[in-house]
Each structure stands twice: as structure tokens, then as C-alpha cells.
Structure 1
Amino acid sequence: MKKQLLAVALAAMTTACVFAQTDNTVAKVKASGTITLGVRESSGALSYMIGDGKYAGFHVDVCQRVISNLERTLGTKVDVRYQPVTSQNRIPLVLNGTVDIECGSTTNNLARQKDVAFALTTYVEEVRVAVKANSGIDSLTQLAGKVIVTTTGTTSVQLLRKHNRTAELKFKDVLSGKDMADSFLLLESGRADAFVMDSQVLAGNIATSRSPADYRIVGEPISIEPIAIMLRKDDPAFKKVVDDTIRELIKTGELAKMYDRWFVQPIPPKNIKLNVPASAATKAAWADPNDKPLESYVCNPPSCLPPAPGR
């Protein structure tokens, strides 16, 4: 009985230690021997499922490189687990310790920085609008009276409402897809006239649709947003590992090569090209590595600008 009580006590102490280390990811991974990646099932070339429980994408590759560097820091092999996340649950799962590093398509903004931290920006996204090619919609102002869809937990429609060319438009309805694939299905099935989302997500869903020629991305950018890998807040040791990894990838030119692999070259599982070269804003983020939020970016349509270096 004493041995059983001792075993229970030790197990409880171990569990308590793991939870106490939730805000110290390096210590948590060292204690458990595992790290959990938050991944998306349909976030374009940043993070998506390729089947059989496997995930791929630009940010998944960056996170894999982070894990390699973490293994060198710890001097031991780390078991990698994948946890699918959505726009709705990604932040809660990072906060409660279920996910150690979110390798998806999350915008770094001031509101989110109250709860979580972000690595150096690796991708700067343009929020755009996808429509059917035969819709007759060529500009944002033609969205008046239309049914708009975006994905639950994202800020795309709010951005559209604030856009100076569309702020006064009255939409017929605004639908919310449970994830990116569901939102695109609403456009594909004709239940929505326009899908407002990150341009590379739109491009990815169009490229993998049954008839890519049936869709177009129209209008000027609604905004530009810094997309970054998400971490727990107040965890400087792990953030240093992640940021140092990204700086190394930028310095060696590997990050640009990784970008081309996912956004320019054919990608699995269908070997389709998205043809989305790195934008000027993305290249500017690489030239001046930073973790500045969306609010540091300036967007005065038709042009949007990243923050000035050193700002």
C-alpha cells in the first residue's frame, strides 16, 4: 500500500511539474520528450493536411527546423506530435499547453499579443476576395448586395467593412465557414458570392478545386497582415530558439528557398503550382526581421506598406 501511495504521489508531482513548465516550453519538452505542433488542415501553402495524418507547408517546414535546433539545444531526440487547430481554438490550445508551437496562418496583432507571443514574421499576407469567374464582380465596390463568406475566428470581413472603398456597402448576408475548406465550399456551391480571406489561402483552395479556371481573385488588397508562428507568452527561452532559427534561415537564404518550394513550385499531393511569388512586403520582413503587429503596417489602398525598418 505504501509503495502504491508513493507511486501515486510521484506521478502527481511529475504532472504538477509538467503543468508548472507550461510557460517554459524548453523545460516542458525536455521533461516530456515530446513537442506538439498546432497545424491547419486547409490554410493554403502555409499549413495543410496531405492525407494519412500528415501535414505539410511553409510554416510546417519552418517549425520542423525549429525542432531540429531545439534537439541540438537539449542534446536529445524529440518526438513530434501534430494537433489540428482551427481559427477558433488555436489560441486557447496554445494557452492551455495542448499546443507548444502553432505552425499555421495566424495574424500577429495587438489584441492577440495580450494572450500569446509571435515569432519573427515569416510571411506578409494580402487579404483579398475570390469570386466565380462568371460572377461579373471585378472590384470591391461590386460586393454591395452580395453574400460574403469568411472563416469563423478570422478578421477578414471586419477588415472589409473598415476598407475605405467598401465601408458603406451593405451586404445581403455574411456567412461563416467552420474552416477554410468549408468557406470555399460555400463559394463553390453558389451559396456565397465572394470569399474574403488571405490571398494564398484563396489561391490554394482555387488551385485544388475541381475547376480552377472557374474562379478569380479580384480587387486591390484589403489589408496586409504579418503572419507568424504563434507561441506562449512570457517564454523567452523558447522564443529565442524559434527566432534564432528564423534568423539563420533568412541569413543563409534557405527561407526564400523554402518559400519558393511551397508558393512557386508544384506542391503535394496534386503537384499544383500556386504561383504566388514573395511580395515586396514579405521580402521587407525578411530584410528587417521583426515581430511587429498588424497595427504597425500602413494600408492606404491601392497600396499597402510594411513598417519602416527600426520602427
Structure 2
Amino acid sequence: MGVELKVKCGFIIVLNAIMLVGCGKLTIEDAQPTLTSKNTTLDKIRATNTLVVGFHDRPAPFSYVPNGSATPIGYAIDIENHLINAVKLAVNMPNLDVQWKRIEASERINAVKTGMVDFECSTITNTLARQQEVSFSMGFFVVTSSFLVHKNQNFTGYQDLNNQKVGVVKNSVSEKILHDYVKNHATKIKIVQIDSENIENALQTGMVDMLFSDDVLLANNRMNLKKPDEWQIVGEPNNYEIYGCTLGKNDDTFKKVIDNSLLDLYATGKIYQMYDKWFKTPLPKLGKNLNYSLSVENAKLFAKPYDTPVPSDISKATQNISKGFKTD
């Protein structure tokens, strides 16, 4: 298309981000692809002059709606806005009507699957089971399941689980991981299902001894507790999960637009600015700070993007990301 990225070999982080294609002058290929099939998401958008973007209004800093506002903000929302611009270019409609649709966590897969929304980016994990219903973009965040516990507890990780009351978010991937661990290690614990809205209350009232969830979500829970400094996130990584944007299944044209836009975000280094804004500084309209440093796994994701459920499956990626760029 002609969006140029000038990259110096000395810029180590961005150099790693584009190591698949080497150093030099790069261009994004096919950000505005030629449509050869009908009834694609882009066809629908063109026909209706409307792009419907889904969002979930929690947790911060991924997405939230400040008091007195009707517009969501957050890390995932900034990413969606970047993708929206790419879609506008792809359909050649700079004045495209963009509609934001709030969806519950339990509705996200079905909302995309049925076409209620054209895409959504939230804290939803890319799994093989979910790939049977929707497609996933390249990942935009890597998490691992950990424990949020009070510092007074003598707890350091999985080896201390016996006789504990552990809270999990109902129907989450972390819940399945914990059940599998207990089954495989004959650990005796009580697993308590909690709705995401009641997590902090369950911890502070003693309903559970600790919470088991994605580490970045635990950072959000800790931030919302009355005395966050008294709580800590512990536990050695036992798994890695990938958050990706959900897209309609079997629409390679639309997926290429979304993936190339994410690749642009990573290769230009803009993703690091977004990260610092939402994870390392006080949150707009909230004033709270997650103080969540960039993990090694997230740095690897930004350096070498992939769209598979786990990093070890990069070789099985459904799209060769390196083809998104060509060297002049």
C-alpha cells in the first residue's frame, strides 16, 4: 500500500520485532487487500457503511467506562482504535460510521460468531476449543496464572496449596488449569467459584484464602483492594495464555487486515507507548496505578508476533506473519 517504516538496525527492541524480515526499509503489504470473494466482513462493512466494534467494560486497564462517560477507554480500546483506522483504509471509507457495542464476557464469542459485532479485543484467551467457533488475531497480551494472597500468609506457590480455599473466576481458563493441577497432583483444596464483580469482596471477607487467575487480572484486583500493598502476586509460571482479538471464522481477508495492523503497531514501537500509558502510569479518570512491568513473554510476543494458543506452538501459526512485510 505504501505505509513505510524506516528501521535502524541499532534499535534493538524494534529490530527484534521485525527479525523475521531483517533490517532495512520495510513496507506493510496488503493493508488494503483486493477482495476476490463475497460476503466477507469487509463486504458487509462496505454495504452498511458501518463498523461495529465490541467491548467489555472491565477490567481496567484493558477497558473501562469512566463515570459520567459513555465512551470506553483502555489498552484494548487503544488497540481497537488502531485497528479501526486500518479497516477504514481497507474499505476506503475515511468517514465510516463506527459503533461501539458493549458485550458481557459470556457473550463475546457468540457476538462475533453471529455477526453482532465485527470484531472485539478483550481479555479473552485464544484456545483450540474457541478456534472451532471464531478466529483469533495475533496475540496482544501474554498472561500466566498466579495467586493473589495476603503477605501474612505463608504461601509461595503450588506446593503450598493443601487445605487452602482458592477462589477462581467462574468458567475461566484458570479454573480449568487449577482443577487439572489438583487432579494430577492429588492436592486437597477447596475451589470456590466467584463472579468477576465479587472478587475483591471474597478476598477481604475471608470467603477465600487467595485468588487464582491471570497475573495481569490479579494486578487489577490488588489495585482495587482497600490496602493493596498488603497483598502480593506469587507462584511460578506453570502455563502461558494469549489474549487475541476475536474475528469471524474463515474470513482470511479481514484477518489479514487486522493482523497487518497489529504488526504495524509492534514494528513501529507504538505498542510500548501504549503499554507504558496503561500499565505503568496512573489510569485516566481512576488515578490508580497498576505498576505492572512488561514481562519477558510479552516482550517476546511484540518481538515475534503469533496467533497460536501458546508460545510453543508458533510453528503451527495459522498465518505466516513475515509475509505481512516485504523488503524493497
Q: Which range, TM-score by smaller chain?
A: 0.7 to 0.9
Distance 1:173 1:122, change over 3 A: closer
1:250 and 2:238 aligned: no
Q: CA deviation at 1:309?
A: 10
Aligned residue identity for 1:196: F
Instruction: Find the partner of 2:140 among 122, 125, 132.
Output: 122
The one of the two structures with greater contact order (alpha-carbon pairs below 8 A, sep at least 6) is 2
Answer with 157-166 or 59-68: which moved more. Answer: 157-166
Q: How does 1:45-60 map to 2 (within 5 A)?
A: 45-51=61-67, 52-60=69-77
Q: Deviations over 1:252-300 (max 9, x none)?
A: 1111211121111221222222122221111112222221123x53xxx
Which secondary structure does the structure 2 equivalent of 1:47 belong to? coil
Q: Deviations over 1:141-193 (max 9, x none)?
A: 3332222222223110221233489832122242231x3x3233322332122
Distance 1:290 1:189, change over 3 A: same
Distance 1:99 1:249, change over 3 A: same
Instruction: Find the partner of 1:105 among 106, 112, 123.
Output: 123
Distance 1:241 1:136, change over 3 A: same
Question: What CA distance in whole angstroms lies between the structure 2 residues aligned with 1:189 and 1:108?
Answer: 33
Question: What CA distance in whole angstroms lies between the structure 1 residues aligned with 2:202 and 2:100?
Answer: 28
Q: How does 1:198-209 map to 2 (within 5 A)?
A: 198-209=214-225
Instruction: Find the partner of 2:87 among 70, 78, 101.
Output: 70
- What is the aligned partner in structure 2 of residue 194 from structure 1? 210
Q: Deviations over 1:221-249 (max 9, x none)?
A: 23211111111111112111111111111
- 8 Å contact from structure 1 (residues 88, 153) kept in 2: no
Q: How does 1:25-174 map to 2 (within 5 A)?
A: 25-51=41-67, 52-76=69-93, 77-163=95-181, 167-174=185-192
- 8 Å contact from structure 1 (residues 117, 232) kept in 2: yes
Question: What CA distance in whole angstroms lies between the structure 1 residues aligned with 2:97 and 2:205?
Answer: 41
Q: CA deviation at 1:137?
A: 2.8
Q: What TM-score do the two structures reach when normalised by structure 2? A: 0.77
Question: What CA distance in whole angstroms lies between the structure 2 residues aligned with 1:309 and 1:98?
Answer: 29
Answer with 76-85 or 221-230: which moved more. Answer: 76-85
Answer with 121-130 or 264-273: which moved more. Answer: 264-273
The alignment yields a C-alpha RMSD, in angstroms, of 2.5
User: Alignment length, in residue pairs?
Assistant: 279
Q: CA deviation at 1:115?
A: 0.9
Q: Percent identity?
A: 27
Q: CA deviation at 1:308?
A: 7.1
- What is the aligned partner in structure 2 of residue 12 from structure 1? none
Aligned residue identity for 2:280: V
Distance 1:189 1:255, change over 3 A: same
Q: Deviations over 1:187-222 (max 9, x none)?
A: 233212221111111111211333212322122123
Which secondary structure does the structure 2 equivalent of 1:148 belong to? strand
Aligned residue identity for 1:281: E
Unaligned stretches of 5+ in structure 2?
1-37, 321-328
Distance 1:94 1:220, change over 3 A: same
Question: What CA distance in whole angstroms lies between the structure 1 residues aligned with 2:191 and 2:183?
Answer: 18
Distance 1:148 1:309, change over 3 A: same
Distance 1:67 1:165, change over 3 A: same
1:241 and 2:257 aligned: yes
Distance 1:173 1:161, change over 3 A: closer
Which secondary structure does the structure 2 equivalent of 1:36 belong to? strand
Which secondary structure does the structure 1 equivalent of 2:115 belong to? coil
Which secondary structure does the structure 2 equivalent of 1:268 belong to? coil
Q: CA deviation at 1:140?
A: 2.5
Which secondary structure does the structure 2 equivalent of 1:65 belong to? helix
Question: What CA distance in whole angstroms lies between the structure 2 residues aligned with 1:242 and 1:24?
Answer: 14
Question: What CA distance in whole angstroms lies between the structure 2 residues aligned with 1:115 and 1:136?
Answer: 42
Distance 1:174 1:39, change over 3 A: same
Aligned residue identity for 1:267: L
Answer with 167-176 or 189-198: which moved more. Answer: 167-176
Q: What TM-score do the two structures reach when normalised by structure 1? A: 0.81
